[in-house]
Amino acid sequence: MSGPAASSSSPTAHLMGVYGRAPLAFERGEGARLISTEGEAYLDCVAGIATNALGHAHPRLVEAVKAQSEKLWHVSNIFRIPEQEKLADRLTAESFADVVFFTNSGSEAIETALKLARKYHAAKGQPERIDIITFEGAFHGRTYAAVNAGGNAAYLDGFGPRLPGFIHLPFGDHEALKAAIGPTTAAILIEPVQGEGGARAVPDHCLRGLRDLCDQEGILLIYDEVQCGLGRTGKLFAYEWSGAAPDVMCLAKALGSGFPVGACLATNDAASGMIVGAHGSTFGGNPLAMAVGFAAVDEICKPETMDNVREVSAYLSQQLNGLRDRYPDVIVDVRGRGLLIGIKLIPNNREFMVMARDQKLLVAGGGDNCIRLLPPLTLTLAEAQEAISKIERTCDQVRQNAAKA
């Protein structure tokens, strides 16, 4: 093949068509503000996609990237990586966990957790324990095992036979759960607050019930906190609200505050099968990602960050419930926890997102006809007020369109 690159009328002609992209691109960002290539400012209540927890171009993170990029980007895990040890020390000090495996994404953290769970039982002489129980509405990522764990048919159809060892149960059906556990069960995998499924929080007593059940049955409890972890709910980890710690936990999105890095955390016991050679990653845990991750976690852990999440989320929740009361023809439910907020709509959520964009507000979509607000944890009260008036204007617009139709 030779010759000039094919010209095409569409700027995305050479990208695999797996995304339904908005006709909008950005040039730069600052805090909760994104500036488009057309020079227009948007209020960003997507924050990457719950990744940029500290907003865009946070000075501490910019400094961390600059400083580490001038020293060392990547070395193999065949060597010690002090930046990795430092972040692992911090994450384990702040959580239930004893050990960490670093990845580049949430899906890889989930892969690690799934492998760890099967290996755990194999190492303890029960290799028949392979089944992972997950729940309807779950999202665990897009790799083979992760889509099989999630169980969303739209992500599985056409990709050949489903992988064995995944059991999907209805959300909140305790009897179905008890009935599903048996001698081949390895683990329960759950998001303490479902993200993509539409910001559904698992009640605290249910997480405590899961903890007891796993203890009784000798199976592992795995939390997917890729989206709800690291400050998003107003505590560093979402499970802290319930007091029910897991055996294994996956993190990613906010861990690098926009820089790609994920992690699988575990107790020493849960990780007992993960011996030399059992697992690995080329890029996972590289010094550049670790330096940014450490700076992000250190900032997220600050009491003022967590206080801000609680204050701003309380305000948003109160205001959004007010909008639901005033616009019952638009908003049916407001849910979620902290700054992982789901707004279940009557009009189509994708159309609502386009209309919000016209108001210069960026929100995320979600399952169950929800839109999600996933702003930076640093969103100010003034910015939250601005978001509310933009949502209110969008609701007005929905009404006007309905009147015209």
Ligand X SMILES: *Cc1c(COP(=O)(O)O)cnc(C)c1O
Candidates 140, 200, 232, 372; binder of ligand X (CB under 6 A) is 140
Q: Please, are residues 349 and 20 in contact by the beta-carbon 8 Å criterion?
A: no
Smallest distance from the beta carbon of 195 to ligand X, in angstroms? Answer: 4
Contact flag: residue 192 with ligand X (CB under 6 A): no
DSSP class per residue in 101-125 = EEESSHHHHHHHHHHHHHHHHHHTT
Encoded tokens for 187:
């683990």
DSSP 262: E
Encoded tokens for 261:
């890095």
Contact flag: residue 152 with ligand X (CB under 6 A): no
Distance, in Å, from the CA atom of 368 to the CA atom of 196, rounded to the nearest integer, reads: 9
Segment 223 to 252, residues that bind ligand X, using CB under 6 A: 224, 226-227, 252
Interface region with ligand X, contact rule CB under 6 A, candidates 52-60, 101-109, 122-130, 157-165: 101-109
Smallest distance from the beta carbon of 284 to ligand X, in angstroms? Answer: 12
Q: From residue 339, how far is each of 45, 47, 50, 173 by CA, in Å? A: 10, 11, 9, 26
- Annotated catalytic, 344? no
**Which of residues 107 and 233 has its CB atom nearest to ligand X in the complex?**
107
Smallest distance from the beta carbon of 227 to ligand X, in angstroms? Answer: 3
DSSP class per residue in 11-23 = TTTTS-S-----S
Q: Please, are residues 286 and 73 in contact by the beta-carbon 8 Å criterion?
A: yes
Distant-in-sequence, close-in-space partners of 272: CB < 8 Å, separation ≥ 6: 120, 123, 124
**Which of residues 55 and 195 has its CB atom nearest to ligand X in the complex?**
195
Candidates 29, 48, 106, 165; binder of ligand X (CB under 6 A) is 106
Smallest distance from the beta carbon of 90 to ligand X, in angstroms? Answer: 21
Instruction: State residue 203 phi and psi, 5-degree precision.
Output: -55, 145
Encoded tokens for 138:
């779950």
Smallest distance from the beta carbon of 176 to ligand X, in angstroms? Answer: 22
- Annotated catalytic, 224? yes
**Which of residues 96 and 139 has its CB atom nearest to ligand X in the complex?**
139
Amino acid at 273: G
Q: Please, are residues 96 and 249 in contact by the beta-carbon 8 Å criterion?
A: yes
Question: DSSP 3-state assignment of 194?
Answer: strand
Contact flag: residue 200 with ligand X (CB under 6 A): no
Contact flag: residue 376 with ligand X (CB under 6 A): no
Q: Please, are residues 186 and 220 in contact by the beta-carbon 8 Å criterion?
A: yes
Catalytic one of 119, 235, 253, 344 = 253
Contact flag: residue 139 with ligand X (CB under 6 A): yes
Catalytic one of 101, 224, 294, 390 = 224
Distance, in Å, from the CA atom of 97 to the CA atom of 267, rounded to the nearest integer, reads: 5
The DSSP H or E segment spanning 249 is strand 248-251
**Which of residues 159 and 401 has its CB atom nearest to ligand X in the complex?**
159
Distance, in Å, from the CA atom of 309 to the CA atom of 317, rounded to the nearest integer, reads: 12
Segment 110 to 129, residues that bind ligand X, using CB under 6 A: 110
Interface region with ligand X, contact rule CB under 6 A, candidates 15-23, 188-196, 230-238, 325-333: 188-196
Angle, helices 287-300 vs 303-326, to 10°: value is 70
Surface-to-core class of residue 194, CB atoms within 10 Å of its CB (0-12 exposed, 13-18 middle, 19+ buried): buried
What mask, x for binding ligand X by CB under 6 A, covers residues 48 to 77? Answer: ------------------------------
Q: Please, are residues 105 and 112 in contact by the beta-carbon 8 Å criterion?
A: no
- Annotated catalytic, 358? no
Smallest distance from the beta carbon of 209 to ligand X, in angstroms? Answer: 21
Contact flag: residue 105 with ligand X (CB under 6 A): yes
Interface region with ligand X, contact rule CB under 6 A, candidates 137-145, 164-172, 297-305, 373-381: 137-145
Interface region with ligand X, contact rule CB under 6 A, candidates 35-43, 139-147, 274-282, 285-293: 139-147
Sign of the dihedral through C-alpha 212, 217, 220, 222: negative
What mask, x for binding ligand X by CB under 6 A, covers residues 6 to 25? Answer: --------------------
Interface region with ligand X, contact rule CB under 6 A, candidates 87-95, 134-142, 181-189, 269-277: 134-142
Contact flag: residue 191 with ligand X (CB under 6 A): yes
Active site residues: 139, 224, 253
Residues of this chain that bind ligand X (CB under 6 A): 105-107, 110, 139-141, 191, 195-196, 224, 226-227, 252-253
